[in-house]
Amino acid sequence: MNDSIKSIDGGICAVDVKAGGIREGKYGVCVISFPKTMATGVFTTNKIMAAPVKHTKNIMENNFISAIIANSGNANCFTGSQGEEDCKDMINHLSNKLNINKNEIAIASTGVIGRKMPMKTIYKLIDNLKLENSNEASTNSAKAIMTTDTVHKEYAVEITLKNGEKVKIGAIAKGTGMIAPNMATMLCFISTDAKIEDKKLLKDSLKKAVDKSFNMLVVDGDESTNDEVILVTTKKVDVIDNDGLDSNFQDGLDYLCIQLAKMMASDGEGATKFLEVEVNGAKSYDDAKTMAKSVVSSSLVKTAIFGGDPNWGRIIAVIGYCGVDFNLDNISIAISNNEEKVYLVKNSEILGFEGTTNLKDAEEIMKNDEIHILIDLHLANGSATAFGCDLTYDYVKINAEYTS
């Protein structure tokens, strides 16, 4: 984190928005309310797209918005015309409660695909929900959208701009499984008091942050039907300078999204260890990105992480098949826990043979809850980092029993 970024409390309510969340059993509803504003989003690319995603993409393309409503426990996906009607009914119900135009409400859902929405429960939750601007309101909202998450996810930062002014960004998110490099089974709602009135600039800023964070996140390689990341701004602090968007603001948005992505990876379904794969020295950023995501996606690498086995041969195998250029005579692989770093291969010299000190030290590092794989191709300056977790028995158990 650079010196211009400071972590703060408040989650999505660190900015002047109101939020609230409530649950009944496996179902939850959260609402975020703010002055009518321009917003932007990034959405799933799955061709089977849930009704709420379709609706929100259309709303945000053509209107300013004043509220977001999200439910957990049911994805409202592949439910035909009934799902579309349920989506509209949720919006109408909130429109009446908040006395705002129905065309100013974005909507999101997460949960089981192909099930009818429990509308009586949803209506009751909306009716009983209270909106506030407080730390508690942010936390309750984050908890309301949890499905198989074991911990709620919220984060906020304060950024000092180049001109000395301060701007805040706050967010809540959910996601633990069905997580692939094109975002995840995830919802993320972000608020900022930045003033960005150019919609393309706002969208480009969010897309850059998502590409460095949620699009570098892998738990199981399955892409959801319901992913939504929405960014709203209350337009109070100008973040545009002579060079365009203040780079400190972009750094802050990147950092916030990366922290949330790391939370999701650490909370991956059944996960016991967080995995970060950093690739340096590639010919390009795209090459580094491809290799990092390939390694973090490998079931064999992920099971080795779970077993505490520094089996660097599995990493070498991924390097060989991921389609990226490299020099076979100059590859380095190291394992780290942020405090210690041990080379298993350095400039293609094998240091991690059975019985070596390096292999024993790597085995000790692999006992930690956080494992970093460092790969250097020694070709150029391409660099990228991907985030993930180990693959465990519990992942199978959780997903085998998900709808029962």
Q: How far is CA 282 from CA 170, 314, 344, 389, in A?
A: 34, 19, 19, 23
- Backbone phi, then psi, for 175, in 5-degree steps? 155, 130
Q: Look up residue 43 and give its two tokens.
A: 């959405």
Give the burial class of 84: count Cβ atoms within 10 A of its Cβ; 0-12 exposed, 13-18 middle, 19 or more buried. middle
Which region holds residue 390: left if phi is over 0, alpha if psi is between -120 and 50, else beta?
beta
Q: Which residues pair with 19 in a beta bridge?
A: 32, 132
Distance (Å, whole) CA 397 – CA 277: 26
Distance (Å, whole) CA 154 – CA 47: 29
Positions annotated as catalytic residues are 185
Q: Which residues pair with 33 in a beta bridge?
A: 18, 67
DSSP codes joined into one string, 102-146: GGGEEEEEEEETT----HHHHHHHHHH---B-SHHHHHHHHHHT-
Q: How far is CA 271 from CA 3, 266, 311, 369, 384, in A?
A: 32, 7, 19, 10, 23
Q: Which residues pair with 345 in a beta bridge?
A: 333, 350
Beta carbons within 8 Å of 100's beta carbon, 6+ residues apart: 36, 66, 67
Q: Which of 89, 90, 78, 73 is nearest to 51 (CA)?
A: 78
